[in-house]
Chains A and B, each alone.
Chain A
């Protein structure tokens, strides 16, 4: 990365070029489950070439590098082998690790280069460290909430947005000062500390239901900070990888915010998670109809078409394997069973698909919201397992509802709706769901795993 461009340097740059192409192919092959595993191989080969090329740089001492690579592998293997239900928190943790790497390298480069650093470089370096720093602590907070080490309830206080805004402004003021006077080194640690504090405060008001958006957004920040690092190191490979990761995070954030009917700017500035306190007191008086597992099994076995709507509650109850037994039992009886997947069901984008795929449910049975919504009127039974807000018809009809305008799965249009739910407590967002009081709705009260298990027994014992 010095001025002279020796022969060895050309080889290294060519290896980086091949790695860049392989990274792009890797993401291209993710377009379909049939080619996706080629994508991993492409990514792995690209990674090996890039690291190998870097080690070719002359004048390197290797022993510390090798120790660090081995240590990283020792930490990485268990992180690659976590249970599928723990994937959201693992993902958040890896955003934190990626951003930690970027922040540390940025800080080291600052101390190596100042005061001989161009204004532009200093500006990009500040961007790298601020984005990286807030992603480190923000992702750790998100991981803590998902792992339930930290309270999942959003914490809000008066003037929260003002405090956050002032902190960010302070970090930017320091950044500008450093751009103009790069010799004032003592300011740099404050900029990093403020970014770290900002990351914590950014995630404090976020509730569990907003996690899919937040994780996507942190993904985008991690990518952008890595791209900024590429500018600082003048590494084209890193700029490309950062741009790919950044655009992936941004696209997922846009999809998630659309699926929650939030404007993208609203999400971008962290003004999400402002949960209205539940106004649904005194609703207990409204009658609901409930059913036993025997009744549910009888209705299901008489049906021709069934659509299952899974939500985060299914993951919490670890019910996905029982759901597969139900799928097998009904399919054996000739019932057409499909699964309706809302984009924000679960705690990260695509969460439900992974859990159901793990339970061996074929992926062509997992249908996206837009594709399946038209089929509910011709569906005999919609079985809702652990999903709440994504089925709430108030989003369509009640302009006063906090989720009004959010696209939902039209389960209420099915001939019969069955909802497995622990009790009548409102869901995470604290919003009452009129679906439960409809004439065609049957409430199945109980633990999702146990209840589905009882239905399977009634149907004649699942498989085997």
Chain B
């Protein structure tokens, strides 16, 4: 691994993604801060990919065991996070009659 160029690439990505995150999340309505948190939690569980590689490559018993627990923990965040975010967002209804499907 040519680690120094990898490192610079990684830093570029981190800083730019941080900026995008800041700009995008600043615009999220405070109304949706709870679902925002459960959604970012589900997305963050993408760490599962690192754990999957650990389990799949089976390089040592310790790595496999740790990876296995990590996959379970992250998967439960993905499944649970998306489920509850969807449940919450379904509840947000407008009183404006323009949206006929929810008008009572």
**Chain A contact residues, CB within 8 Å of chain B:** 1, 3, 19, 23-24, 26-28, 30-34, 36-37, 39-40, 43-44, 46-47, 50-51, 53-55, 57, 59-62, 64-65, 67-69, 71-73, 75-82, 84, 87, 90-91, 94-95, 97-98, 100-102, 104-105, 107-109, 111-112, 118, 120-121, 215-216, 219, 222-223, 226-227, 229-231, 233-249, 251-252, 255, 341, 343, 348-351, 353-354, 357-358, 360, 362-366, 368
A350 touches B46 (CB 8 A): no
Q: How far is the CB of A267 from chain B (nearest CB, A)?
A: 16
B96: contacting residue among A69, A226, A227, A364, CB under 8 A: A364
- Mask: chain B, 66-104; 1 = CB below 8 Å from A; 0 = not: 111111111111111111111111111111100000000
* Highest count of chain B CB atoms <10 Å: which of A72, A235, A236: A72
Q: How far is the CB of A189 from chain B (nearest CB, A)?
A: 12
Q: Assuming A57-B53, A111-B63, A247-B18, is B47 touching A98 (CB within 8 A)?
A: yes
Measured CA separation A111–B66 after assembly (Å): 11
B7-43 interface (Cβ within 8 A of A):
7, 9-10, 13-14, 17-18, 20-22, 24-43
B45: contacting residue among A3, A37, A101, A366, CB under 8 A: A101
Measured CA separation A31–B63 after assembly (Å): 40
B6 touches A98 (CB 8 A): no
Measured CA separation A364–B5 after assembly (Å): 50
**Chain B contact residues, CB within 8 Å of chain A:** 1, 3, 6-7, 9-10, 13-14, 17-18, 20-22, 24-60, 62-64, 66-96
B38 CB contacts on chain A under 8 angstroms? 87, 90-91, 94
Measured CA separation A250–B82 after assembly (Å): 21
Q: Assuming A61-B58, A97-B77, is B47 touching A102 (CB within 8 A)?
A: yes
B13 CB contacts on chain A under 8 angstroms? 236, 239-240, 243
A47 touches B77 (CB 8 A): no
B3 CB contacts on chain A under 8 angstroms? 118, 120-121
Measured CA separation A349–B93 after assembly (Å): 19
Q: Assuming A36-B89, A94-B38, is B44 touching A223 (CB within 8 A)?
A: yes
B10 touches A239 (CB 8 A): yes
A1 CB contacts on chain B under 8 angstroms? 53
B68 CB contacts on chain A under 8 angstroms? 64, 67-68
A33: contacting residue among B50, B72, B92, CB under 8 A: B92
A215: contacting residue among B31, B37, B79, B95, CB under 8 A: B37
B41 touches A27 (CB 8 A): no
Q: How far is the CB of B70 from chain A (nearest CB, A)?
A: 4
B78 CB contacts on chain A under 8 angstroms? 47, 72, 76
